[in-house]
Each structure stands twice: as C-alpha cells, then as structure tokens.
Amino acid sequence: MMFGKSTIWLGAMALCAGLLGGASAHADDAKRILVFGDSNSWGWKAKLEAFPVERFGDDERWAGVMATALGEDYTVIVDGLNGRTTDLDFGEDLGALAAEDFNGAKDLPEVLAKNLPLDLVVVMLGTNDAQAQFDRNADQVAQGAMHLVDIVRNINGGVLTTYGTPKVLLVTPPPMGDISKTPLSANMAGGVEISQQFADAFDRAAKLGNVPVFDAGSVIGTSGVDGIHFTAEEHAILGKAVAKQIEAGVLVN
C-alpha cells in the first residue's frame, strides 16, 4: 500500500497581514509552511485494485490547493509518504524503504532540519496508525500525533541554526469510508471504527497539549473508491478549508 516519499515546493499567491501572530522565523517576508503527512498528502489516487499507485498533480493535492489559496507570500513545502504513521515502525520493509522509514517521529527531525526556517508545520497523520497490525485505539493514535507536535516544539534550531521554533497546526484525519471493495481492507480491519473516533480523541489531546486542531472530517469524508483516500474534490475542499484556518490566525500556540 505504500511506495515512496516526496518533498514538493509549492509557490503560493496572497497573504493576510499578521497571520501567524508575530514576526516571521526568518529574514525574508514569505511565510514558510511545512505539510507533514501520509498518502493523502502525497496525493494517492484511489482505485479498486490499489496498485500500482498514481498521484494527483501538485495543484490538485490539498496542500497545493492550500498554497494557491494562501497566495504568493507563502512558500508551502510538502513531505508526504505513503504508509507513514505518527510514531510507529511499519511491520515490514516496503519497496525501497525499511520498516522504520515509515515512522513519522523518526523522520520528522530530519525533515524539519532540512527545511528550516519554518513559520508553521501542518501535521495530518493517524490513518495508518489505525491498521490492525498496530492495535491502537483512537486516543493512542492522537497521542502519537501529539508526539510529533512535541518534536516540532523541541527542534531548537535544527542543525547549528538559531531559527525560531515553528508553530504547529494539527489536522485530524477524516474517518475512513467503505473499505470493503479494495485489497487494502485487510490492512485496515477495525480501522474504520477507530477513525470514527479520531475527532474527539484529537480534540482532547490537542486541548491538553495547547495546540490548534482542525478536524478534516468536518468538511470532507474519504470518498475515494478504496474508502481511505480523498477524491480530487475532497482535496480541493480540504485545501481551501485549511487555508481559511491559517488566514483566521488560529495558529497561536
């Protein structure tokens, strides 16, 4: 179900003044946003046979739509990996990657260090944690996401820099839909029910951790034919919705 990883730079086009509540983390005026996610950030196109995988174009994926909505005063960097978890090694090596390469908590420090300076990190992970092999409940998945928030908050300039610590926006993955028609359903046995509890679990964890959270399930489902991945329309809706959250200035944490 998982193949490669991609880091994509997306130029954006307009900015609400003072959005992130203070000075930028760097000298130039463009706000830099990192999106850290899984196959739905990578842009997996759902199909019944699952493989081989193809992806939506840069401007179709939700982070690309977000970048366009925000405008040219933003730089959006996307690091999406098929199969990525919050903080769990995968059960086996897949494709070119070792099992531990799918562990978001192991990957994030390097991703942050490579891309500093950053003003904001948007994290949307948790769907893969709901796989049967991990035996996690929704609260444990949410705690895994908060582990990533803690990593961002403790990056301390990455490698030999004095760049400021980015703010974080946690995006709760939407509940999965009908997964019965795809080979991926075996991996996700019980995952639909777990994902239906994500909104409450992530909200509780975010409040305790004092981090802004946006529930993707409040605006989209997972209507791709596999019940796990977004349609093009859902990418567009989510990208615009997250851009509105950023423009609303909710990122004081």
Going from the first residue of the chain to its last (253 residues), give the mean pLDDT of each consecutive group of 10, the final group possibly shorter: 40 36 59 98 94 96 98 97 98 96 99 98 99 98 99 98 97 98 91 99 98 98 97 99 90 43
What is the pLDDT at residue 29?
A: 84
What is the pLDDT at residue 249?
A: 83
Domains of the chain: 5-247 (3.40.50.1110)
What is the pLDDT at residue 2?
A: 36
pTM of the model: 0.90
CB under 8 Å to 132, separation ≥6 — which residues? Answer: 187, 188, 189, 190, 191
CA-based torsion, 50, 37, 196, 139: positive or negative: positive
